[in-house]
Structure 1
Amino acid sequence: MTGVTVRQATPDDADVAGRLLHDFNVEFETPTPDPAEFAGRFRALLADPDQVVLLAEDGDVAVGFAYLTLRPTPYYDGPLAQLEELYVRPDLRDQRIGSALLTRALELVTERGAGEMHIGVDEVDTDTRRFYEQRFGFTNVEPATDSRMLYYIREL
């Protein structure tokens, strides 16, 4: 990971975040808005302190990003953190850039007093599941039980 740094994005970085999210969706053949549409949304989102984008950069080139949201919850005094997206350019994977992004994300939400972080992962994505489980200690089993947690989605 020589030369790669991680920093928190500002609304001025919306174009970069939009391009990275578009590239992520294209790579995984997910229907996607174009980068400019994402950029417009990120401009508005990044004005909210509970919407966080972290950029991994090699010099002045963005090579990955993490998008986090924080929301109130009655379960903790602090917020609940959700890792919405984590992406590293395919040609730079396995260089610990994703680890640097997630490490900084965990530091940031801990500093903000978050009680928990949630991450949605496709069941078939075994490499990503292994990354979160083995490197970072995330689990898809409810604590103190053997009951798997499921994540439901419905487009509206």
Structure 2
Amino acid sequence: MEVRGTLDGEPYHVEVPVWASLLDALEAAGRPLPAGCRGGQCGSCTVTLDGVPAPACVVPAGAAAGAVVETARRAALPMLVEEMAALSATQCGYCAPGLVVALSHLLSTNPALDASAVREALTGHLCRCTGYEAIVTATLAAAARLRFCIP
């Protein structure tokens, strides 16, 4: 099956089997993502698909035909990445790409959020290295910077 679309702002084209997932298509396009579970439960392969976060491992590649796909390379808000680094919000980094994609989407759609909204957005994202509190704190710090437009 042929899949064409936009990947991180550039056109891409791959041939994959009809049963392939978007994760498989991204790997074929030379953009592999962390894939912990390959069943939509860990969140590490989260991308935005036409602006909506989705685990790439459970999206059929055909469903992404013609879509705009953004990985953490393009979908991550720099302020969030800076705050996560400053607060040591991730340790091994395996879950970080999916986390920053999902949380960047949350911040882009609702910069006036609270800790419970951040925790809800973390549903479906597994991090075995942290207790999530530093991730929540970093997201709230990025939200404060966004509200006050501090670069």
TM exceeds 0.5? no
Output the TM-score relative to the length of structure 1: 0.33
Report which structure shows greater RCO (CA 8 Å, sep ≥6): 2
Output the TM-score relative to the length of structure 2: 0.34
